Amino acid sequence: MITKKRAFRFFFIALVFLTFIIVISSAFAAAEPSTTQEVVEKGSRMPWWVWPLGLFVFTFVLGIVAVLGGVGGGVLYVPIVSGFFPFHLDFVRATGLLVALSTALAAGPGLLKRNLASLRLAMPTALIASAASIGGALVGLALPTNVVQTLLGATIIMIVFIMLSAKKSDFPDVQKPDALSTALGITGIYHEESLGKDIEWHIHRTPLALLLFIIIGFMAGMFGLGAGWANVPVLNLLMGAPLKVSVASSVFLLSITDTTAAWVFINKGAVLPLMVVPSIVGVMLGSRIGVKILVRAKPKAIKWMVIGLLALSGVRALLKGLEIWE
């Protein structure tokens, strides 16, 4: 039996290990050649296999930390890997999208079968978000790297504030479903195991939420972050879907939004198998370990540490973009 104390100790070790990998990678990445000419002429000082292996170990620990901290792997992956590893932001964003996509594809079927994720809720929102994500990906690939890196840092810091301030509501009170959600038939019933009863839900403020999904989709495509941090507050607090339905539908929604943006990066040639495969396998294996620990214990302090890690990587991305901390 894993107690809260043991889970916390496990998490703390993982976090220290993660910090260690970040510091080591950062030190080696800083020692690598930096200009295009230098890079092509001199190559690298490290054997090629060091970075994929380091990425696998890093993403394995990240998978554990992300699950225990209640955040998606993508939101931690992009700022940390772009800030502390030698890969260009273009490849990191492409891989970040594929990491978020893979985890969504792995979790989506189970959530749909249990009727926690709602196809009727996700499809209209996904249509808006996925179309916008194409625009975000194209803009992100066209803008100068330092601009995208700066905007990424600012976005991560904003996410930290959202995580600190946003409240969650298990069963929001929806007095009357709006006309659009009624016309689209967005409603559902799911079995709430903690209460032992079926919960019927409706939503409201659908037009405003759909407008917000344009912004969410655009940012997901631009930064390759996944967008659970934004999907859940909009689905839960604005539209009034129950928390479990919001979280599950958000995961499923990511499988559609991130797919669309990922295609843009794939067609641009921004996919490096040496980055993509170790990252996906590492995060997925780590997440499985994380879930096993999570079902037994979830110390609240973990959330604060993950927020701290996110804030640090956000500041790092911001300073790197502004060329203050290279």
Find the shortest distance in angstroms from Cβ 104 to other proteins. 9
- 192, β-bridge pairs: 197
Q: Are 308 and 15 in contact, with CB atoms under 8 Å apart?
A: no
Residues 6+ positions from 159 with CB-CB distance below 8 Å? 75, 229, 310, 314
Find the shortest distance in angstroms from Cβ 222 to other proteins. 14
Interacting residue with other proteins among 9, 146, 147, 269 (CB under 8 A): 269
CA distance 201 to 204: 10
Is there binding between residue 273 and other proteins (CB under 8 A)? Answer: yes
Backbone angles phi, psi at 103, to 5 degrees: -65, -35
Interacting residue with other proteins among 158, 210, 281, 291 (CB under 8 A): 281
Is there binding between residue 17 and other proteins (CB under 8 A)? Answer: no
Is there binding between residue 171 and other proteins (CB under 8 A)? Answer: no
Interacting residue with other proteins among 26, 145, 291, 303 (CB under 8 A): 145
Is there binding between residue 266 and other proteins (CB under 8 A)? Answer: yes
By CB under 8 A, the residues from 189 to 218 that bind other proteins are 189-191, 198
Is there binding between residue 243 and other proteins (CB under 8 A)? Answer: no
CA distance 158 to 318: 12
By CB under 8 A, the residues from 86 to 105 that bind other proteins are 86-88, 90-91, 94, 98, 101-102, 105
Is there binding between residue 157 and other proteins (CB under 8 A)? Answer: no
Find the shortest distance in angstroms from Cβ 232 to other proteins. 20
CA distance 326 to 106: 36
Find the shortest distance in angstroms from Cβ 48 to other proteins. 5
Beta carbon nearer to other proteins, 207 or 269? 269
User: Nearest-CA neighbor of 244 among 182, 295, 304, 171?
Assistant: 171
Beta carbon nearer to other proteins, 258 or 310? 258
Is there binding between residue 272 and other proteins (CB under 8 A)? Answer: yes
Tokens of 72: 């998606």
Is there binding between residue 280 and other proteins (CB under 8 A)? Answer: yes
Neighbours of 133 (CB within 10 A): 32
CA angle 203, 220, 188 (to 5 degrees): 20
Tokens of 77: 């992956």
By CB under 8 A, the residues from 113 to 142 that bind other proteins are 113-115, 118-120, 123-124, 126-127, 130-131, 134, 138, 141
CA distance 140 to 149: 10
CA distance 40 to 86: 14
By CB under 8 A, the residues from 31 to 70 that bind other proteins are 32-34, 36, 39-40, 42-44, 46, 48-49, 51
# chain residues binding other proteins, by CB under 8 A? 74
Tokens of 194: 């903690």
CA distance 92 to 80: 10
Find the shortest distance in angstroms from Cβ 44 to other proteins. 4
